[in-house]
Amino acid sequence: MTKTRQSLGRRGEELAAALLEGKGMVILGRNVRTRYGELDLVARDGDTVVFVEVRSRTQTAHGDPLETVSRAKQGRVTRMARWYLAAHHLPADTYCRFDVVGVVFAPGCPPQVTHVVNAFWA
C-alpha cells in the first residue's frame, strides 16, 4: 500500500472515530491486530461491541466506498471479531454489530462521511 493510500486510510479512520464518538460510542481500539488481519475500529455502543470497517476514497467514480465491502471481507471481519471477543475474554453471549463507515475525500469539498449501522450480519 502506498503512503498516500495509508494516509488517506488513517484520515478516514480518524473521521470515522470522531463521528462514532459524537454519537456517544466509546472507541475500544484502533487498528487492532489479530491473527487474521486488522480491525479498523472497535467501539462500544451501550452494551454492544461494534466492529467497524472504514472505507476511504478520493472519488466515487468507481463506486461508493460502502459498496467495496465484499462477502470475503465480511467473512474476514467476522473471523477477526470472534478472535477479539475470545482474546478479551468477553462472554459468548456478548451482543455484537458490524458497521461500515464510508469516507469520500472529493477534491475541493469537505469530507463526506456515511455511517451504516448493521451493515452486515455474521
Mean pLDDT by runs of 10 across the 122 residues of the chain is 74 97 98 97 98 88 74 95 96 94 92 94 82
Q: In the prediction, which pLDDT does 105 show? A: 92
DSSP for the chain reads --HHHHHHHHHHHHHHHHHHHHTT-EEEEEEEEETTEEEEEEEEETTEEEEEEEEEES-STT--GGGG--HHHHHHHHHHHHHHHHHTT--TT--EEEEEEEEE--TTS--EEEEEEEEE--
The predicted model scores a pTM of 0.91
CATH 3.40.1350.10 fits 3-120, yes or no: yes
Domain boundaries, given as residue ranges, for the chain: 3-120
Q: In the prediction, which pLDDT does 1 show? A: 53
